[in-house]
Amino acid sequence: MKSGRLGIGAKLLAFAASLLFAVQASAQPDPLPSWNDGAAKQAIIAFVKDTTTHGGSKFVPPTERIATFDQDGTLWVEHPMYTQVMYVLERVPALVKAKPELAKVAPFSTVLELLKGDRAAMEKLTEADLIKLLAATSTGMSVETFGAEAKKWLAEAKHPRWKRPYTELTYQPMQEVLKYLRDNGYKTYIVTGGGQDFVRVYAERTYGIPPEQVVGTAGGTKYGYGKDGKPFLTKEPKLLLNDNDAGKPQGIHLMIGRRPYAAFGNSTGDRQMLEYTGAGDGARLMMLVMHDDAKREYAYGPAQGLPASKVGTFTQALYDEARKKGWTVVSMKNDWKKIFAFE
């Protein structure tokens, strides 16, 4: 009796579903409306078709569908300076307020000066300075406190050029790629040189990517107990993973444990991730976003004669490797109809 009732419902369901899917297939809208027709758009669509067509030679089982995305310069704007560096610098006044003795100590004193005037001059800070500033502003507190501080800043801070929150400066064409891949059974991951804890604060709301799918530069934590006996984790100034260059495939192995089928980047820091992805069997998609649109965004390389940049460097050697290995180079100027959702 039960199975009879179930059978009728199931058959009706299958029939209605087949009707619905037939209609949807014939009315399928463009999944990448912000992309101009061209080789890049075609490469993405062909890859998805190849890897999701049952019975095809390049079919990839749904559980193995992993796609990884660099963030800075690939999913959102990274010029004139990485968003997290802006965060670290803009945390310095609060830090100095809590510890006034730092006001006269470099690099904190340097940052206070910079914040009063020319923020672009922050390029002068050395990497050692930045590491010191990062440790001072982003460790020594509980992971919850760090998350709350970063969330508050992200809600208030504005990009100097567009005067909008940084989280609005994501690339609409890449948002469409994320959604298109997810709609086709791909798990989308961020694999960023940025701080894992920082990016996890907004990745779900901004990109639809949950915390457990954010791989980034990560520090250690220390387990301890509060006065109320409740345990909590404190962020420690101890580097576990530098998720740049070779650190990207290492981070992918550590956190995901599978080789991606698609990888997206925009700079030399993404080279090894794309090489590692491309070394797998079957269909693989490797893409590099080239910032060649000074008008709508920025132009920097130095590949193809674009102006050199320390932030998001795209060398000619990387460009040549991409051409040699069949990676797709995306021209922001030519391939993207639209850059931001708010345009």
Q: How far is the CB of 342 from its own copies (least distance, A)?
A: 26
CB 307 within 8 A of CB 293: no
Distance, first Cα to last Cα, the chain: 59
By CB under 8 A, tell whether 320 contacts its own copies: no
By CB under 8 A, tell whether 135 contacts its own copies: no
Point out which span in 23-31, 97-105, 108-116, 290-298 binds its own copies (CB under 8 A). 23-31
Among 130, 254, 334, 337, binds its own copies (CB under 8 A): 254
Token pair recorded at residue 53: 């067509």
> CA-CA distance, 43 to 79, in Å (whole number)?
27
By CB under 8 A, tell whether 317 contacts its own copies: no
Binding to its own copies (CB under 8 A) within 66-105 occurs at 66
Closest CA to 216 of 245, 234, 243: 243
Token pair recorded at residue 88: 């670290």
For residue 66, the cross-strand partners are: 187
CB 271 within 8 A of CB 249: no
> CA-CA distance, 191 to 104, in Å (whole number)?
37
By CB under 8 A, tell whether 10 contacts its own copies: yes
**Cβ closest to its own copies, residue 93 vs residue 140:** 140
**Cβ closest to its own copies, residue 10 vs residue 39:** 10
Among 258, 307, 316, 341, binds its own copies (CB under 8 A): 258
Binding to its own copies (CB under 8 A) within 216-245 occurs at 218, 220-223, 230-233, 240-241
For residue 21, the cross-strand partners are: none
By CB under 8 A, tell whether 282 contacts its own copies: no
**Cβ closest to its own copies, residue 31 vs residue 302:** 31
**Angle at Cα 261 formed by Cα 255 and Cα 265, nearest 5°?**
75
Q: How far is the CB of 322 from its own copies (least distance, A)?
A: 15
Quote the crossing angle between the two packed helices 143-156 and 196-207, to the nearest 10°.
50
By CB under 8 A, tell whether 256 contacts its own copies: yes
* DSSP track, 114-165: HHHS-GGGGGGS-HHHHHHHHHHHHSSSBHHHHHHHHHHHHHH---TTT-S-
Among 12, 39, 94, 131, binds its own copies (CB under 8 A): 12
Among 73, 107, 195, 249, binds its own copies (CB under 8 A): 249
Q: How far is the CB of 189 from its own copies (least distance, A)?
A: 9
Neighbours of 55 (CB within 10 A): 5
**Cβ closest to its own copies, residue 249 vs residue 312:** 249
**By the criterion CB under 8 A, which residues form the site for its own copies?**
2, 5-6, 8-10, 12-13, 15-17, 19-20, 22-24, 27, 63, 66, 143, 187, 196-197, 200, 204, 210-212, 214, 218, 220-223, 230-233, 240-241, 246, 249-250, 253-258, 272, 275-276, 279
